[in-house]
A and B are shown apart, each in its own frame.
Chain A
Amino acid sequence: MKKGPDLVKKEQERKKRRQVFTSTFLLLTLIVSSLLIWKLRSLLLPILVGALLGYLFRPLKDRFRVSWLPHELRVLVLFAIVGFSLFLAGHSIRQQMPDERQKLELQVRLKYKLNEKFQQVLGPEGETSQWLGPLKAMIAREAGPAMNQLNGWLNLSKSETELFLKYREGYLGQEPIQDRYFDYFQANQTTAAYIEKPEQRSPSALVPSDTATFSESPEKSATKTSALKEELSVWILAPLIFIFLGFDNGQMRRYFIGLVPNRYFELSLMVVDMLDEAIGRYLRGTILECGLVGLTLAAGMILLGIPVSVAILIGLISGMVNAIPFLGTVFGLIIGLGYALIAEGVVPLIPGLDPNNLALYVIILVGLAHLLDNMVYQPFVLGNAVNLHPLVVIIAIIGGSLLMGILGMLLAIPTVVVVKTAVETLFKELKAYRII
């Protein structure tokens, strides 16, 4: 059947109208979505975190196959298993966390040990060596103000001091605080200020007081509480999105692919799949890599004689932070060194190690873990999943931190990986489909 000239003209007009309508609609959608995203930007992060968790949950859901169980029930069972495991993990971590009394002890020990080590570095007064004398004077001049600041933070407030003294006597049926820690406490009371730069002098820094650092006005406190409530209400979105994504059985993907024009249907299937595979590979690889780094650090710390529970805790925290390139190592070093400074009565499992040099061993261990991460774990676990130039990584992390703080740093590299993979895949497939 041949179309008449009128019909052809009408068809052409319809095509034109459709093009105008589609482009106007797309432009309006773009403007409205940009406005909405800007206005609701505080929701972005919880949505992203929820989506990320949902994404991580998916392989677990795919692997949990009970052919006769409907999808919804399967997901519910999995949620229950995951929730219970998380509860158990949280409970055991909480048990390892120091209680009120242990926190006070730690604070006292940390302050005492820090000052002791700093004074060891400075050495006895009246250093006569030609080189060491000026060097130590320079260290005292430069690091002194920072030590004063640290001492200010570690000072026990009035109420904390009272509580410490109560625990010393045996408070709430607990054993009295050991003499050793009480000696530290007494020594801390007499810690003098180090040399300060004139512009940084803050006389209140060393004064233990409830009012100087710990209390704030009621208005300020109320504003803080309402801001916290607002933040919490926004973060409710994360678990909700996680749950909905958990129940999703491909409907979302089908819906979005349904919106793609027929011409790009197969192309969109391929691009979405490749993107999904690349992101999945990267996320799973990163988690495995973080786990391996955490395990290495924990095993190393156990070998250095640090108690198993503390070593596991340090390994866990350092492993988690390792998701942020570079910063993970720094965090591991800070936490490890922090513990090495206050550790007492440590007996290394490796014969020949001097317990007094624990801090040095921790530095070596973190360095080794970093080397292993860069030379073994990353190439084997991640492969080419993150083929990013180090400069891109640094810029992305700084950019992420400026935009969203710590979470921005955490999300920076996955975002760069997603964008890079999306652009690469899209161009490759557009060429394969002879669209460009």
Chain B
Amino acid sequence: MSTKRSIADKVLWQRLRHWNRSSKDLDRIDFLKTVPFFNSLTPWQLNHVCGILFERSYETNELIFEQMQPGAALFLIVDGKVAVEVYNEKYTTSLAELESGSFFGEMALLDESPRSASARAVEPTRTLALYRNDLNRLSHTDPETACHIYRVLAQIVGDRLRATNEMITSGEIHLEKLTG
């Protein structure tokens, strides 16, 4: 089935789609190929994903989302820089500064739980947003593509969990050493 589709894709529609797409769409597809979430998708699948992304532009210091707000979308940085920060009553801690090709807010693809950190554009930034419910719908219209995205998301969450476990373990060892 998959082979048949890929032949049909190559012979029949690839040219047509190429002709039908604007250069903006082609830029997006080229960009998506560089993002871990989508880098192993076929051009056909990338075209599907492209159709559900929202482009947003932010000015310097503009908030992309705020900590504690319900999350709705994953953001991919096309160009610019984004700071991921955690606010406290007294101070703000910068967790990371992300650049073009990076993504953030991926937990919003799983549920509507509040954002654990804020994201702020450090310089004029262009992003692509993938909305949770659009991904859910994609799982009905193109299950293969959606499954791939969810698999990558699961890997990322798994890696983070392992990293957190390691941090906790090393912290406990460090604490034991300190307390004797």
Contacts and interface: CB of A to CB of B under 8 A. Distances in A.
B64 interface: yes
Contacts of A432: 69-70
A265 B71 contact: no
B140 A62 contact: yes
Contacts of A433: 69-70
Interface in B54-86: 54-58, 62-66, 68-73
B54 A257 contact: yes
Contact of B72 (A67, A250, A270, A434): A270
A202 to B, nearest CB: 62
A250 B52 contact: yes
Nearest to A434: B69
B68 A262 contact: no
Interface stretch (B5-13, B96-104, B146-154, B163-171): B5-13
A68 B137 CA distance: 18
Contacts of B8: 68
Contacts of A429: 70
A262 B120 CA distance: 12
A38 to B, nearest CB: 33
A258 B54 contact: yes
A258 B54 CA distance: 7
Interface in B117-144: 129, 131, 133, 137, 140-142
Interface in A103-152: none
Given A62-B140, A262-B64, A266-B71, A70 B58 contact: no
Given A62-B141, A67-B142, A266-B72, A254 B54 contact: yes
B54 A262 contact: no
A250 B142 contact: no
B70 A70 contact: no
Contacts of B12: 68
Contacts of A434: 66, 68-69
B175 interface: no
9 contacts: A68-B12, A70-B13, A262-B57, A262-B58, A262-B62, A262-B64, A266-B69, A269-B131, A433-B69
Nearest to B65: A266
B129 A265 contact: yes
The 9 closest A-B pairs by CB, nearest first: A266-B72, A68-B8, A68-B5, A269-B131, A273-B133, A432-B70, A269-B72, A433-B69, A270-B72
Contact of A68 (B9, B52, B69): B9
Contacts of A258: 54-55
A2 interface: no
Which of A67, A68, A262: most chain B CB closer than 10 A? A67
Interface of A is mostly: helix
Contact of A70 (B5, B16, B66, B69): B16
A266 B138 CA distance: 19
B17 interface: yes
B180 interface: no
Given A270-B70, A434-B68, 16 more contacts: A68-B9, A70-B16, A70-B17, A262-B56, A262-B58, A265-B56, A266-B71, A266-B72, A266-B73, A269-B131, A273-B131, A432-B70, A433-B69, A433-B70, A434-B66, A434-B69
A228 B62 CA distance: 55
Tell me the dominant secondary structure on chain B's binding face: mixed
A140 B69 CA distance: 72
Nearest to A72: B20
Interface residues of B, number: 34
A249 interface: yes
Interface string A154-197: 00000000000000000000000000000000000000000000
A28 B79 CA distance: 35
B54 A265 contact: yes
Nearest to B64: A262
B139 to A, nearest CB: 12
Given A258-B54, A434-B68, A65 B17 contact: no
Contacts of A263: 63
Contacts of B129: 265
A355 B8 CA distance: 64
A1 to B, nearest CB: 10
Interface in B20-79: 20, 51-52, 54-58, 62-66, 68-73
Nearest to A266: B72
A434 B69 CA distance: 7
Interface string A235-274: 0000000000000011000100110001101100110010
Most buried by A among B58, B129, B131: B131
Contacts of A273: 131, 133
A358 B72 CA distance: 59
B141 A65 contact: yes
A273 B129 CA distance: 15
A270 B141 CA distance: 20
A249 B51 contact: yes
Contacts of B62: 262
Contacts of B58: 262
A313 B38 CA distance: 54
Contacts of B16: 70
Nearest to B55: A258
A250 B51 contact: yes
Contacts of A249: 51
Contacts of B68: 434
Nearest to B12: A68
Interface in A331-364: none
